[in-house]
Amino acid sequence: MTKRSELRTSLPEDLYFYPTFGEEEVEAVSAVIRSGRTTQLSSSVVREFEEAFAGYVGAKEAIAVNSGTAALHTLLIACGIGPDDEVIVPAFTFIGTVGPVLQQGARPVFADIDPDSYCMTAEDTAQKITSWTKAIMPVDIFGHPADLDPLRDVAREHGVLLLEDACQAHGARYKGARVGGLTDAACYSFQESKNMSTAEGGMITTNDPELAERCREIRHQGEKEWGLIESLGYNYRMTAMQAALGIVQLGKLDKANDTRRQIANIYTNALKGLDLQLPKEKSYAWSVFHVYSFLVPKQLASRRDDIVQALKAQRVPAKIDYPWPLYTSPLFKDRSGPFDCPVTEDVCSRVISLPTYQSMSMDIAEKIGAVTHDVLAEFLK
């Protein structure tokens, strides 16, 4: 058996992971190009992808767009969210969740998160509701579903929308059902780091056909029919080449998610003997581990960045997702707050993320886990 000390130098230089595109994807894209019908307007492939994705997540409707951010923006427009409205969002998320709220002139209101799942809580969300609140937007962070039933109860009690950011959660399950058809609407991203990829791209899913039709108009310049523009829209269309990729990738998604869960299990086995808070799956959840994020102990919070640098020096592609509560970014100065999110602030000070790409071999995952164990053990002495 290889000793851990020997593994310290066994990771390759410039370790890089990528979408698992194979000959099926090459042929699917090539077929679209050979057809000469490469856009949503001229090809049926985008619609085929939408129907397949809706069926997969258990939603009645799916609307393909060109990014996850475009999906969220389109959805907010379709829901009539604009100036003077408030949207409750988690303080622990990527800017792509909140940027579309600002683009609509609405005000993001930041809610705190659960210390185990890192998802926004219904309890703090309820505290942040005002007469201006138009929607609640939970994020299925790192592939772990938010606790949707309590959030739905809050939304119903106050008569607001529940719009799910599932951009990191393709195939994740909440109480046995895949996310995507469990809220008023959900949004996905197909950027290359995601569990399935169209290089760039996004999807909106909903069970509301009228909402779906409004989204389709918005993604195509607000056009209801040729030459008839009902409202301001955007060019958020997905290409047929991206959709062709998506159809093939969707067929591989379950296997990709199983691989990510295997990698997460490898990391857990490597690190479980250390004084760390490792990822936890809530009883309601089946996570797809977009990344594997753990917390160092509080006494090492001030050295967290040093730990990440030490891991990178040993070729471990560690990251900090996310280093600060989103509301502390300069963008939000004079726009919001102050916000009291102590759990988010604690998690941001201690979190470290490891990659779980399905293109990673189990051998490399074992080595990353072993090297990470060694580096952390030194800091924990």
Residue ranges in the chain modelled with pLDDT below 50: 1-5, 7
**Topology agreement, domain 4-12+253-380 and domain 23-248:** no
CB 84 within 8 A of CB 132: yes
Give the model confidence (pLDDT) of 119-174 as tens digits.
Answer: 999 999 999 999 999 999 999 999 999 999 999 999 999 999 999 999 999 999 99
What pLDDT is recorded for position 9? 52
Domain boundaries, the chain: 4-12+253-380, 23-248
What pLDDT is recorded for position 324? 96
**Nearest by Cα to 58 from 194, 200, 173, 210:** 173
What pLDDT is recorded for position 1? 35
What pLDDT is recorded for position 224? 83
- Taking each helix axis as running N to C, give the angle between helix 362-380 and helix 304-313, from 0 to 180 degrees, rounded to the nearest 10: 140
The residue type found at 140 is D
Give the fold, CATH level 3, of 4-12+253-380: Aspartate Aminotransferase, domain 1 (3.90.1150)
- Taking each helix axis as running N to C, give the angle between helix 68-78 and helix 209-219, from 0 to 180 degrees, rounded to the nearest 10: 120
Q: Which two tokens stand for residue 102?
A: 């600002």
121 vs 114: CA distance, rounded Å: 6
Note the pTM of the prediction, 2 decimals: 0.95
Sequential DSSP letters for 276-312: -B-----TTEE---SEEEEE--GGGGGGHHHHHHHHH
What pLDDT is recorded for position 4? 45
CB 144 within 8 A of CB 278: no
Sequential DSSP letters for 136-147: E--B-GGGPPP-
What pLDDT is recorded for position 370? 96
Bridging pattern class, strands 185-189 and 202-206: antiparallel
Q: Specify the DSSP class assigned to residue 7.
A: H
302 vs 13: CA distance, rounded Å: 28
What pLDDT is recorded for position 334? 79
What pLDDT is recorded for position 253? 98
- In sequence order, what are the beta bridge partners of 86? 107, 133
Bridging pattern class, strands 177-178 and 173-174: antiparallel
- In sequence order, what are the beta bridge partners of 228? 225
Q: Specify the DSSP class assigned to residue 360.
A: S
The residue type found at 28 is A
Number of helices and strands (H, E) in the chain? 12, 14
Q: What is 23-248's CATH number, 3.60.20.30, 3.40.640.10, 3.40.50.2300, 3.30.450.190? A: 3.40.640.10
φ, ψ of residue 329 to 5 degrees: the values are -65, 145
